[in-house]
């Protein structure tokens, strides 16, 4: 799609740790051995430890076992190839690029729980769009957390893009509305709206988020053109709860999987895909604004399993 530079090496780099822990062990567990119940049990245990989730892990291993019973596969290496195919099947071809408005500014609403990495992720998206010669504007709607507005302001200075901000303690929906007006009058291509981190269990805060979305729609009925949920890749099974509650309140169109450069195994991506069907659009693989990549499932799986 030309929006981001070639991804493969970066993902591999980001997933280094994943590979070293998961793949190496998967390889050690499976390679050069005939399949056995014990072997499958070890594989399941490794997958659970990589945050695939109990249910997903058991299903994937059950599929391998079924294929084994049908005599389609007989060795650990077969099982590994089979698992790769299975994972690839989780990600059918679909539109994982950003949707832009037909005319006027494209509005991208960004949300997530506290500390997921929203502001950094916004800086990353902003930089890549700016590098595409798009005129980008940021809206600092996190009026709750101390210094959140300043944090986005510093990014706007570093990236040389405009920012619309509100007062700490002010109404975030009002800031969003102002930003929409400013984006229109100043001929901005993309408006990225940063919101306060909120736990999905806080109903009133989720309501506030729906309100922000409604207010944006007052100005642009078609907007937001993208609703990005930022998820911390180290999160466990709770990420599925988060994604489903956010999806209910603001109809999430894509996921930004942040902090995949750590030791996160990325297994949670599979569970989220399975339960909710929301595509992962970006992955964050580092601290600088350049450390963002589009999510490419077959390359992601390939990177996970290549030695």
Partner 1 sequence: MFGNLTDQFSNALKKLSGKGKISESNVREAMDDVRTALLEADVHYEVVEQFCENIQQKALGEEVLASLKPGQQMIKIVHDELVATMSGVPVGQEADEFEAQPGIMFVSPGPTVVMMSGLQGSGKTTTTGKLAAVLKKQGKKVMVAAADLQRPAAVHQLEVLANQVNEEFDKGPDVLFHAELDKVAEYGKAVGAAVTVCRNAVAKARQEKCDVVILDTAGRLHVNDELMGELRQVQSAVQPHQILLVIDAMTGQDAVNSAKAFNSQLELDGVILTKFDSDTRGGAALSVRQITGKPIKYLGVGEHLDALEEFHPERISSRILGMGDVVSLVEKAQQQVSEEEALELQEKMAKGKMTMDDFLNQLNMMRKMGSMKSLLGMLPGIGNQIAQMDIDDKEINRTEAIIKSMTKKERTDVDLLDNSRRRRISQGSGTKPADVAQLVKGFDMVSQMGKQMSGMGMLSKLKAMSGMGNAMGAGMDPRAMMGGMGGMGKAPKKPSFKQKFKQRKKRR
List of residues contacting partner 1 (CB under 8 A): 17, 45, 48-51, 53-55, 113-117, 119, 144-148, 150-155, 158, 168, 199-204, 232, 234-239, 241-242, 259, 261-265, 268, 287-288
**Structure token pair of residue 64:** 């391998």
List CB contacts of 129: < 8 A, sequence separation 6 or more.
3, 136, 189, 190
**What's the angle, vertex CA 251, arms to CA 257 and CA 4, rounded to 5?**
40
Q: How far is the CB of 19 from partner 1 (least distance, A)?
A: 13
Q: Which is nearer to partner 1, 6 or 114 (CB)?
A: 114
Q: How far is the CB of 147 from partner 1 (least distance, A)?
A: 4
- Could you tell me the CA-to-CA distances from 32 to 11, 26, 60 in Å, in that order? 27, 12, 20
Cis peptide before 138 (omega within 30 of 0): no
Q: How far is the CB of 221 from partner 1 (least distance, A)?
A: 29
- Could you tell me the CA-to-CA distances from 231 to 108, 175, 235, 237, 239 in Å, in that order? 16, 24, 8, 12, 7
Q: Which is nearer to partner 1, 107 or 292 (CB)?
A: 292
Q: Which is nearer to partner 1, 60 or 107 (CB)?
A: 60
Q: Which is nearer to partner 1, 254 or 266 (CB)?
A: 266
Q: What is the 3-state secondary structure (H, E, C) of 21-90?
A: HHHHHHHHHHCCCECCHHHHHHHHHHHHHCCCCHHHHHHHHHHHHHHHHCCCCCEHHHHHHHHHHHHHHC
Q: How far is the CB of 194 from partner 1 (least distance, A)?
A: 12
Q: Which is nearer to partner 1, 109 or 264 (CB)?
A: 264
Using alpha carbons, select from 172, 192, 181 the residue that is nearest to residue 218: 181
CA distance 204 to 200: 10
Q: How far is the CB of 183 from partner 1 (least distance, A)?
A: 23
Q: 232: burial class by Cβ within 10 Å (0-12, 13-18, 19+)?
A: buried
Calculate Rg over the CA atoms of the chain: 21
Q: Where are the beta strands (DSSP E) in 60-168?
A: 106-112, 136-141, 162-165
Q: Which is nearer to partner 1, 189 or 232 (CB)?
A: 232
Q: Which is nearer to partner 1, 17 or 96 (CB)?
A: 17
Q: How far is the CB of 24 from partner 1 (least distance, A)?
A: 15
Q: How far is the CB of 104 from partner 1 (least distance, A)?
A: 30
Q: How far is the CB of 172 from partner 1 (least distance, A)?
A: 14
Using alpha carbons, select from 91, 93, 85, 32 the residue that is nearest to residue 63: 85
Q: Which is nearer to partner 1, 45 or 101 (CB)?
A: 45
């Amino acid at each position: 799609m030309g929006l981001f530079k070639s991804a493969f090496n970066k993902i591999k780099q980001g997933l280094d740790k994943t590979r070293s822990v998961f793949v190496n062990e998967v390889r050690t567990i499976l390679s050069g051995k005939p399949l056995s119940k014990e072997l499958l049990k070890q594989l399941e245990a490794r997958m659970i430890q990589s945050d695939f989730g109990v249910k997903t892990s058991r299903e994937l291993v059950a599929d391998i076992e079924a294929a084994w019973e049908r005599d389609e596969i007989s060795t650990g290496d077969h099982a590994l190839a089979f698992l790769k195919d299975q994972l690839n099947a989780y990600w059918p071809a679909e539109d994982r690029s950003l949707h832009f408005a037909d005319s006027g500014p494209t509005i991208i609403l960004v949300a997530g729980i506290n500390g997921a990495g929203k502001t950094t992720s916004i800086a990353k998206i902003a930089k890549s769009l700016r590098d595409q010669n798009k005129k980008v504007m940021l809206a600092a709607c996190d009026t709750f957390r101390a210094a959140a507005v300043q944090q986005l302001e510093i990014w706007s200075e570093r990236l040389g893009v405009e920012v619309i901000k509100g007062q700490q303690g002010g109404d975030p929906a009002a800031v969003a509305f102002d930003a929409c007006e400013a984006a229109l009058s100043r001929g901005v291509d993309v408006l990225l709206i940063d919101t306060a981190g909120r736990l999905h269990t806080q109903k009133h805060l989720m309501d506030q988020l729906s309100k922000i979305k409604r207010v944006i729609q007052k100005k642009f009925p078609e907007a937001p053109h993208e609703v990005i949920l930022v998820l911390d890749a180290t999160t466990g099974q709770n990420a599925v709860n988060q994604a489903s509650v956010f999806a209910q309140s603001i109809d999430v169109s894509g996921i930004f999987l942040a902090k995949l450069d750590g030791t996160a195994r990325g297994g949670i991506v599979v569970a989220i895909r399975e339960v909710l069907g929301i595509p992962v659009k970006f992955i964050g693989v580092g601290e600088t604004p350049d450390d963002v990549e589009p999510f490419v499932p077959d390359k992601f799986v390939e990177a996970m399993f290549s030695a």
